[in-house]
């Protein structure tokens, strides 16, 4: 090995190992209280870069405390018990390092090389210190490892005192080199003559000589060159605590602390999930179908019903994918379940899959789903970027593919998650199927107005050199309908992981679209698939889909399609109060009082919406210039609820237009008492002049 190569390897090791240990800068730490700076010190060697980035971005102590709690829960080996063995052991090691490794060092014990290794690996199986004439002091710690962690069965960590004094530093064969261990003769031997260096050290101590070339006892090497496995071993040790944790929970913490309470986010449960965009050929709209399977299911017992129960509350948020991250659509839904002891032991033994669906307007979005169990307030969540094309026009497009253990025909009318047309797809978010189970493939093709022949080519393959698998299927795409729905059974390829690619081909075999899915065949005949919990929507509630699309279009500023979908929903269900209120608010914002006054009559007969009737009617009349009737309607709304600033503001403006400035001032002043930060109201009040003193 040349000197230049030795330097390169040393620099590589320094970059791999020590970059993760760089301290947080003073600029980053300044806003933090001392206790949070101390916590960052405590977890310096086990916190991932993403976790640290999220922690430093938090704005309140409540959020920081919640993330710290969640940080430890992610590492708890026995979730559900009062003790967190990982945290307790880490604290013990940290305190030990500070107590016993600070001597002879200008830095705290946890920052020393010995402190870091002790914190990461714990006490060594054995340790031996070599104080030998001719060598600098050397300390060797022996450890047992395991292949699951990427560590050899046995290895050692070597420390030495550079120049013979000071603190013990970590020794790396390829970085420091055997020459660094010699107290004498080091200047007389070529630093690249590793055989000579080894033989010289061996004269003083054979154990140190062996360790000077490799940290892995018995490692097979070529000649006397220092082991290239040693820096990789230490790098693996330093990275191990960070690779064991899925740190995406920290990013999710940022996303969902605004949707649910911060205290709830700390009860995080990992989940498997699936999200698929499908086109409904009957409704001519795109739907997002999704499923969540929490890895843990907690239940409680109801004495009243003599059954076990749990309730999942699902919250879905759709945001714009641009820098504004604007919330465009949101809904919540409950999934209550009661079960017997037998149910828990059988069909619910592996938990449940919660599935839902909703229509989505064309655009680029971030989809977020939060699932919270009422028992123990356990929470799971996931998010995805979603690109939704127009449901009409455009190039031919594939939807799916979805791999399933079963696809059933649907005879009952209505709509459900993972149902397209008359097919209901059984979903397992793991996409895992047994070796003797059928493998069903679902996909659909939107051909639009294209009448040319098309076909779909399905390729199933793996990447195994010792047992390769590849099979291709070809099916003709029917031209009878704009959307062609297809499902088929494919060969079960046996235990392993596979990629399923569906390619849509045109008349000249040109590629029109390509989609992929993964398939996992478990090494057993049958796989237990957890039951799916979903809600079926009857046909007479289909107007809700138009209502949802209208809300999405409205929030994203697309008024024409929003109005079209509101009108379509109203045509299907003209007396539904929430729909009328939503559409009326849309019309009010677009200053269309005539249509608003036409549709709101049903609200006055519903006690829950009578306030909205008078408030919306009064505001619409005010926009029309009919201020006398507007005042009457707004006074009635204010009588029902006197703390709505929008009603008080409209009332003040309408009273001012009738010339009753005194009453107008009272209404506006009442609004400002509720919300002083209303600049426009202050200007209007100022324009009315000062109130005359009695």
Q: Is the pLDDT of residue 439 over 90?
A: yes
**Contact (CB, 8 A) for 159 and 169:** yes
Neighbours of 322 (CB within 10 A): 11
Q: In which order are the strands placed within the sheet that holds 407-409?
A: 407-409, 423-425, 419-420
134: left (phi over 0), alpha (psi -120 to 50) or beta: left
Query: Considering the chain, what percentage of its residues have pLDDT values greater than 90?
Result: 64
What is the crossing angle of helices 577-589 and 610-624, to 10°?
A: 20
**Contact (CB, 8 A) for 225 and 1:** yes
Phi and psi, residue 25, nearest 5°: -70, 160
Cα–Cα distance between 653 and 291 in angstroms, integer? Answer: 50
pLDDT band, very low/low/confident/very high, at 258 (cuts 50, 70, 90): low
Q: Is the pLDDT of residue 192 over 90?
A: no
Q: Is the pLDDT of residue 208 over 80?
A: yes
Mean pLDDT over each residue of the chain, to the nearest integer: 88
Cα–Cα distance between 665 and 688 in angstroms, integer? Answer: 7
Phi and psi, residue 23, nearest 5°: -70, 155
Query: What is the full DSSP assignment across 13-57?
Result: HIIIIIGGGPPPPHHHHTTS-HHHHHHHHHTTTT--HHHHHHHHH
What is the crossing angle of helices 610-624 and 645-658, to 10°?
A: 40
- For the stretch 441-495, pLDDT in tens is 999 999 877 888 999 999 999 988 788 999 999 999 988 888 899 999 999 999 9
Q: Is 631 helix (H, G, I), strand (E, B) or coil?
A: helix
**Contact (CB, 8 A) for 179 and 186:** yes
Neighbouring residues of 501: CB distance < 8 A, sequence distance ≥ 6 = 458, 459, 461, 514, 515, 516
Q: Is the pLDDT of residue 12 over 60?
A: no
Neighbouring residues of 182: CB distance < 8 A, sequence distance ≥ 6 = 134, 135, 136, 189, 197, 200, 201
Cα–Cα distance between 503 and 276 in angstroms, integer? Answer: 17
**Contact (CB, 8 A) for 400 and 443:** yes
Would you state the structure tokens that stand for residue 401, as one six-digit string? 């593919």
pLDDT band, very low/low/confident/very high, at 8 (cuts 50, 70, 90): very low
Q: Is 501 helix (H, G, I), strand (E, B) or coil?
A: strand
- For the stretch 221-255, pLDDT in tens is 778 999 888 888 999 999 988 888 877 778 777 77
Largest CA distance in the chain: 110
Question: For residue 14, what pLDDT is reported?
Answer: 36
Q: Is the pLDDT of residue 10 over 70?
A: no
- For the stretch 63-95, pLDDT in tens is 888 889 889 988 888 766 778 899 999 999 999
Q: Is the pLDDT of residue 11 over 70?
A: no
Element housing 487 (H / E): strand 483-490
- For the stretch 366-396, pLDDT in tens is 999 989 898 887 888 888 999 999 988 888 9
Place of tokens 């050899």: 152
**Contact (CB, 8 A) for 611 and 637:** yes
Work out whether the CA dihedral 628, 630, 636, 640 comes out positive or negative: negative
Q: Is the pLDDT of residue 533 over 50?
A: yes
Q: Which of 49-53, 514-518, 611-615 has the lowest mean pLDDT?
A: 49-53
Distances (CA, A) of 170 to 76, 141, 180, 205, 304: 30, 11, 12, 19, 64
Nearest to 46 by CA among 242, 258, 179: 242
Neighbouring residues of 82: CB distance < 8 A, sequence distance ≥ 6 = none
Question: For residue 6, what pLDDT is reported?
Answer: 35
**Contact (CB, 8 A) for 45 and 116:** yes
pLDDT band, very low/low/confident/very high, at 259 (cuts 50, 70, 90): low
């Amino acid at each position: 090995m040349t000197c230049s190569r030795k330097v390169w390897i040393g620099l590589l090791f320094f970059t791999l190992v020590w970059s993760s240990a760089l301290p947080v800068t003073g600029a980053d730490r300044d806003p933090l209280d001392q206790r949070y700076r101390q916590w960052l010190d405590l977890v310096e060697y086990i916190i991932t870069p993403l976790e640290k980035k999220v922690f430093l971005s938090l704005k309140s102590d409540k959020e920081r405390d919640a993330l710290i709690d969640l940080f430890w829960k992610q590492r708890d080996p026995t979730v559900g018990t009062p003790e967190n063995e990982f945290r307790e052991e880490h604290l013990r090691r940290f305190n030990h390092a500070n107590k016993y490794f600070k001597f002879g060092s200008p830095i705290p014990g946890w920052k020393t090389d010995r402190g870091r290794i002790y914190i990461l690996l714990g006490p060594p199986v054995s340790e031996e210190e070599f104080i030998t004439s001719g060598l600098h002091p050397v300390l060797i710690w022996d450890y047992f490892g395991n292949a699951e962690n990427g560590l050899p069965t046995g290895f050692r960590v070597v420390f030495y005192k550079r120049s013979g004094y000071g603190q013990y530093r970590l020794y790396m064969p390829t970085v420091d080199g055997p020459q660094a261990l010699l107290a004498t003769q080091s200047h007389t031997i070529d630093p690249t003559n590793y055989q000579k260096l080894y033989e010289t050290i061996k004269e003083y101590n054979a154990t140190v000589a062996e360790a000077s070339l490799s940290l892995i006892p018995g490692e097979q090497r070529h000649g006397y060159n220092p082991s290239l496995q040693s820096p990789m071993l230490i790098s693996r040790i330093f990275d191990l605590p960070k690779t064991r944790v899925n740190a995406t929970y920290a990013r999710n913490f940022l996303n969902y602390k605004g949707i649910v309470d911060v205290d709830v986010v700390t009860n995080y449960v990992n989940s498997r999930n699936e999200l698929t965009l499908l086109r409904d050929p009957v409704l001519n709209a795109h739907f997002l179908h999704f499923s969540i399977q929490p890895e843990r299911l907690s239940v409680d017992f109801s004495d009243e019903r003599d059954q076990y129960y749990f309730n999942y509350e699902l919250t879905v948020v759709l945001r714009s994918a641009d820098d504004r991250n604007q919330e465009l659509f949101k809904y919540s839904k409950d999934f209550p379940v009661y079960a017997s002891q037998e149910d828990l032991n059988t069909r619910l033994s592996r938990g449940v899959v919660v599935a839902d669906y909703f229509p989505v307007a064309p655009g680029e979005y971030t989809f977020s789903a939060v699932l919270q169990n009422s028992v123990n307030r356990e929470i799971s969540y996931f998010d995805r970027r979603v690109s939704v094309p127009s449901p009409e026009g455009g190039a031919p497009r594939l939807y799916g593919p979805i791999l399933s253990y079963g696809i059933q025909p649907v005879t009952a009318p209505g709509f459900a998650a993972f149902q397209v047309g008359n097919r209901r797809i059984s979903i397992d978010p793991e996409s895992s199927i047994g070796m003797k189970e059928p493998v069903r493939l679902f996909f659909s093709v939107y051909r639009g107005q294209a009448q040319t022949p098309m076909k779909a080519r399905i390729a199933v393959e793996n990447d195994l050199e010792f047992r390769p698998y590849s099979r291709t299927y070809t099916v003709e795409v029917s031209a009878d309908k704009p959307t062609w729905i297809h499902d088929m059974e494919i060969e079960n390829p046996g235990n392993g992981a596979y990629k399923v690619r569906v390619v849509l081909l045109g008349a000249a075999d040109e590629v029109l679209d390509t989609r992929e899915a993964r398939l996992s065949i478990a090494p057993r005949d049958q796989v237990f698939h957890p039951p799916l919990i979903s809600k079926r929507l009857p046909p007479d509630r289909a107007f809700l889909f138009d209502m949802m699309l209208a809300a999405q279009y409205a929030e994203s500023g697309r008024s024409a399609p929003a109005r079209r979908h509101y009108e379509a929903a109203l045509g299907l269900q003209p007396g539904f109060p929430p729909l009328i209120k939503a559409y009326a608010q849309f019309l009010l914002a677009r200053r269309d009082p005539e249509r608003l006054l036409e549709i709101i009559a049903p609200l006055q007969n519903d006690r829950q919406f009578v306030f909205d009737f008078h408030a919306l009617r009064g505001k619409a009349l005010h926009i029309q210039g009919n201020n006398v009737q507007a005042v009457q309607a707004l006074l009635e709304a204010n009588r029902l609820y006197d703390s709505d600033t929008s009603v008080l503001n409209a009332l003040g403006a309408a009273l001012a237009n009738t010339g009753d400035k005194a009453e107008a001032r009272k209404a506006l002043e009442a609004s400002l008492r509720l919300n002083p930060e209303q600049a426009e109201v202050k200007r209007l009040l100022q324009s009315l002049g000062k109130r005359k003193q009695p």
